[in-house]
Chains A and B, each alone.
Chain A
Amino acid sequence: MAKKPDPTAVDALVTNALLTLATADGPRRLVGRGDHPVLFAGKTGANKEALDRIQDAAVPLVAVEGKAKAESVRLTEAGFTRVLPHLPDERVGPLAKQVAAVLATAARLAFIRGVVSRTRAAAPELLPLVQETEAALEGENTARLAATVARRERDRAEEAAIVEILAALRRIGVSRLAALRQEYDIEGGSAADLPTIALHTREPLPQKPDMQAALLTPDTPEEKGFRREVIRRLAAQWREAIDAKRDDAVAFMEAGIGNVRGVRQIGTPGETARFDGEFYDADEGVSTGTPVRVVRPGWVIDEDDDRQHVILKAKVAR
């Protein structure tokens, strides 16, 4: 029966191999013939034990790169941690940089934080890597944000198209019904005798969270009337707050009114505009098209079919 190698000797072999790898000027291979110098002289006895430990499947201390004669190894994060106590400070930075370069972003930052907290001298070496990582993260965030915006826009376009399609189908239904009634009259019947068909009756749409935007858009005359009435009342109070120079109240109310779907502000204070009596109000007589200065903005609701409903004209002066 073969004698079991001394564990201390195996530990020493592992540490020596890792230290050699960490301080080497060029690539190293584990064992056998190849282009690069070896870390272990053979594969038997204590060397075998050390090789098994260094290539442990659960926590490998090195990672193999290249194939056949060109094969070489590099330290893993676990290997680096293992050899770190034996390294001179000036070697920590360059080695940590190599190890960190192949780690995923989150793991890389955690690794660098650990190294720097232990060896301050490594910080200058690792700073460029952290800056690169930071820039990469910003890029990733921007890209993710853009992807989210694009996805939401696609969703909104789909929702709007669904609403438009339903509205168009309703209009087609109404138009078809009117034509049929007219045809019925022409044929000698009386459309007044025909039953009324409620075209607006329909099953409610499935309410998924991303349909909320569509549901917030007033659809029925009652909903549109309610929006006009509410904005009219709020705008009246907003105007009062402006007259009373209550800037805080003005800002809060303005935010509230402006955030309502479909509501748009007419002009901004100090802005120059061309007078149009539909949107602007002046205490003095002003000709259409005359340049005027906006003294107090107004509010308009963009309703469907390109209709606009002016809630409060903007106050202007020459």
Chain B
Amino acid sequence: MAEQTFCIDFGSGFTKVGLRRHPTATTVLVNDHGIDTTDFCYHSVVVIDRSGPKPVVEYGKKAAGRAPANGIEIHANWKQWLFLTPSGDEPGANSVEAFLRTDELAKLAARHGVTATQIGHLRQLVSSARELLAGAGVQPVTRDAQRQQFAASLAVYYFTWLRQEVLKECERLPHAGVKYADIPTRVSVPAFAHGSNVTTHPGCKFLTTALVKAGWSLHPENPVVSEPVANTVGVLTNGLNATKKNKVDLGSMFNKGPVITVGANAKYYAPYRAIVVDVGGYTTDFAVLTLRQDGLLDADPERAFDAQQHSVPLGVSDLDKRVLSVLPPEKAAWLSKRSADELDGFRVTLYTEGKPVRSGVIGTVGAPGTEGDAVRDQLSQFAAAVGAEVRQFLTAIGTGGTNELVLTGGGVSIPAVRDAILTAAAADGREFVKIHGPDIQKKHTGKPVHKLDSRIARGGGAIGGSSLFFEPALA
């Protein structure tokens, strides 16, 4: 067991780091000043500048928002490459080989009397030429494998930089009896690696190897945790850690919530489920964690829950596109030139507060009248689309169970979206004993609610991943 733990929630856009400074300390986010979430979100983007005599790698705020150029590479979403599953033979990696496999070529060949066998020989010829160029005895490397290797190398650089930033920030924290450089770390990984795969999945191995090379010491028992489990634990515990008679006091940590009630008396209750809906910038992610019969007693906390997950390409950026499409061209052009910060402000004003946005140059955007109605229409349609996805996903898991609903991501702060999710989740007679989400009140749900603050809503994975829940020695 580790007395203290970091948890790195390595995201595609931003990375958050949780810290439990001693067994019963409330988990905090590194670099959280309670001002806004941008402080504890480290940019995951990496810039490699090869224009000089030596490549220069830059990270964080220095890398964010940079433009590419000849010799300057911007790697904004390289996390996904770590988790690719490259096949042994990937014809798509070579454009000539891909061309030789197209239906169009087959039709053209038939028209000119070229047989399928001849085309097959042509393919072999090109393939042999590729292997010859790669070198004798060298296995041809597919594009995915190359990307994966590149991401694994990049991860070492990135986590080295992240460690420096984290330790620098820890210098500002109380030092009584704590050596921050010696604290082991855990990393959260996407849901598909949940369960027994969590340590054996190649992507997870790349990640943990990179962390060790970067100087992090891995948690001795549970170095990897899946994202939905970590996030759910973070939300349900609020970062609280507690022990009683040298055992994890799950009752106190989960505030004696439904998961504890069901976990302690599983045979008397319907199965416990935590349903997580995360409406992000580009996707809406769903996860259902079902507590196993003896889940809370399992020596491996990662196995306490069965996990199902699903992701659809529908996010707040789609709402932006919809709104842009109904605005007058000059206003749409103005809006599309705003910075990321300005767009965030725009979304809060127009989508969350329902107020028109004022501009000194183009007047108001979404003012009451035709324009405001058009914007509201798009909001309603987007909310309905999210609601439909929620309903479709939940249909597969049935209506029974002791359910808690967890809403996270920037999209759930939009009242229309939140209401659509709540309505869809409750359709088919599904009941929730508690609902967790930002900007949520009991009057919205009629059920007990847990209003999430922004650090939990955005950093729940890092907070939950550092939890005492994942310390099996104390279970």
Interface residues of A (CB under 8 A from B): 174-175, 178-179, 181-182, 185, 190-192, 221, 224-225, 228-229, 232-233, 236-237, 240-241, 243-244, 246, 249, 276-278, 281-288, 305, 307, 310-313
Contact = CB atoms under 8 A, between A and B. Distances in A.
A287 B56 contact: yes
Nearest to B38: A309
Given A221-B35, A249-B360, A305-B172, A185 B67 contact: no
Nearest to B240: A192
Interface stretch (B131-139, B318-326, B339-347): B339-347
Given A185-B24, A192-B24, A237 B252 contact: no
A190 B243 contact: yes
A237 B346 CA distance: 12
B176 A175 contact: yes
Contact of A283 (B23, B24, B67, B243): B67
B61 A278 contact: yes
B35 A175 contact: no
A244 B360 contact: yes
B63 interface: yes
B429 interface: no
B369 interface: no
The secondary-structure label for the interface of chain B is loop
Contact of B49 (A192, A221, A276, A288): A288
Given A174-B174, A244-B361, A313-B65, A190 B24 contact: yes
Interface stretch (B68-76, B185-193, B195-203, B265-273): B68-76
A192 B68 CA distance: 50
B342 A287 contact: no
Which of A225, A233, A277 has most B Cβ within 10 Å?
A: A277
A236 B362 CA distance: 13
Contact of A285 (B69, B339, B361): B69
B249 to A, nearest CB: 7
A27 B20 CA distance: 94
A224 B51 contact: no
Contact of B345 (A233, A244, A249, A286): A233
Given A182-B22, A221-B33, A237-B360, A190 B66 contact: no
Given A224-B33, A237-B360, A287 B68 contact: no
B313 interface: no
Contacts of A286: 67, 69, 72
Contact of A191 (B24, B49, B342): B24
10 contacts: A174-B174, A179-B177, A181-B25, A221-B33, A228-B35, A236-B345, A246-B360, A249-B360, A278-B60, A312-B341
Contacts of A284: 67, 69
Contacts, number: 109
A178 B242 contact: no
Contacts of B72: 285-287
Contacts of A278: 60-62
A192 B25 CA distance: 8
B241 interface: yes
Interface of B: 21-25, 33-36, 47, 49, 51-52, 56, 58, 60-72, 172, 174, 176-177, 240-244, 249, 252, 338-339, 341-342, 345, 359-361
A284 B72 CA distance: 10
B376 to A, nearest CB: 23
A192 B242 contact: yes
Which of A276, A284, A285, A305 has most B Cβ within 10 Å?
A: A285
A179 B35 contact: no
Given A221-B34, A278-B62, A241 B360 contact: yes
A228 B68 CA distance: 29
Contacts of B66: 277, 285
Nearest to B67: A285
Which of A192, A283, A312 has most B Cβ within 10 Å?
A: A192
Contacts of A305: 172
A248 to B, nearest CB: 12
B362 to A, nearest CB: 9
A310 B360 CA distance: 23
B35 A277 contact: no
Given A190-B242, A192-B252, A281-B65, A236 B342 contact: yes
A192 B65 contact: no
Contacts of A285: 66-72
Given A185-B23, A277-B58, A282-B67, A240 B361 contact: yes
Given A190-B243, A192-B242, A288 B62 contact: yes
A241 B362 CA distance: 11
Contact of A240 (B71, B252, B360): B360
Contacts of A174: 174
Contacts of B34: 221
A2 to B, nearest CB: 95
Given A185-B24, A277-B62, A190 B176 contact: no
A175 B175 CA distance: 8
Contacts of A182: 22, 25, 176-177
A232 B22 CA distance: 37
A126 B138 CA distance: 105
B169 to A, nearest CB: 10
Given A277-B61, A288-B49, 17 more contacts: A178-B25, A178-B174, A181-B25, A192-B241, A192-B242, A224-B33, A232-B342, A236-B338, A236-B341, A241-B360, A241-B361, A246-B360, A277-B62, A277-B63, A277-B65, A278-B60, A284-B67
Nearest to A244: B361
A190 B360 contact: no
Nearest to A238: B360
B62 to A, nearest CB: 4
B37 to A, nearest CB: 10
B150 to A, nearest CB: 19
Nearest to B24: A191
Contacts of B342: 232, 236
